[in-house]
Amino acid sequence: MSIELPDSETLYHHFFSPWISPEDPRDKILRSDLEQVELDAGQHIRVLSPLTDEGRVQIDAQLKRTTQAALTDLPALLKLQGAPGLDWLDAFEKHFTPERIQELLRASNPEKMDNPYFVVCCEAGALIGHLLQKQWPQLQWLGDFPYFESSLFDLNGKALFPVFHWALKSLSGDERHPLKQKVQASVEFLQEA
C-alpha cells in the first residue's frame, strides 16, 4: 500500500502560513528553490528584508538557536556521528520515508508552533542552511519574519535560497529532489554567477 502525503503547498498553508501576520502584505506562498533579486548599484541587501535593526538581531538569534538545535537533535535522531556534512542530508531523506512523514503529520497539531512536523522542518531548514554555507561561505542569512521565511543570500549572484522551504518540500508528497543535489547545484550556480 502506497502512502499519499499532502503536497508541499497544502502543508505550507496548514503548518506555516498561519504564523505569518495577516497584516503582512506578501503572498503566503511556498517559494521556489532559488530566487534571483535585483539590487541597484550600492543598494544594501537590507532593502530585501522588512526587519528593523532590533528585529534582525532577534531573527539572527532565532536562526542560531534553530541551527544549534538541528546540530544536536538531528544527529541523535538519525544516529549520525562526526562533523556535519552533505551525507547528513542523504541520511535525513532516507530516514523520513512517507510512512515516517505520515506519522509525524499525525502527531502534529498545526495550532502549536512546537508541533513535531514544524520543528523537524525548521531544524532541517537550518541544517540545510548550515551545510550550504559550509560549501559557499560567502552566503549570509537575510533574516525575515517569521524566521522560517529567512533565506541565504549571495550578493554576487544576487540569489536567495529559501532553505526552510526546501525542507518542507522534502517532507511532503511532492516528487523528491535530493537535498544534497540541490546544495551542489546551488554551489555550481554560484560558481558560474
Q: Mind listing the pLDDT tens digit for each residue in 25-42?
A: 888 899 999 999 988 887
Q: Mind listing the pLDDT tens digit for each residue in 141-176?
A: 999 999 999 999 998 899 999 999 999 999 999 998
Helix (H, G, I), strand (E, B) or coil at 140: strand
Phi, psi of 103 (to 5 degrees): -60, -45
Q: Mind listing the pLDDT tens digit for each residue in 53-110?
A: 999 999 999 999 999 999 999 999 999 999 999 999 999 999 999 999 999 999 999 9
Concatenated DSSP letters of 28-57: --PPPS-EE----TT--GGGG----HHHHH
* Helices (H) then strands (E): counts for the chain: 7, 4
List, in sequence order, every residue forming a beta bridge with 140; answer none if it has no partner: 153
Q: 117-137 in b/e burial notation, b at 16+ Cβ within 10 A?
A: bbbbbbbbbbbbbbbbbeebe
More confidently predicted of 47 and 12: 12
Quickly count: other Cβ atoms within 10 Å of residue 182's Cβ: 20
- For residue 43, what pLDDT is reported? 78
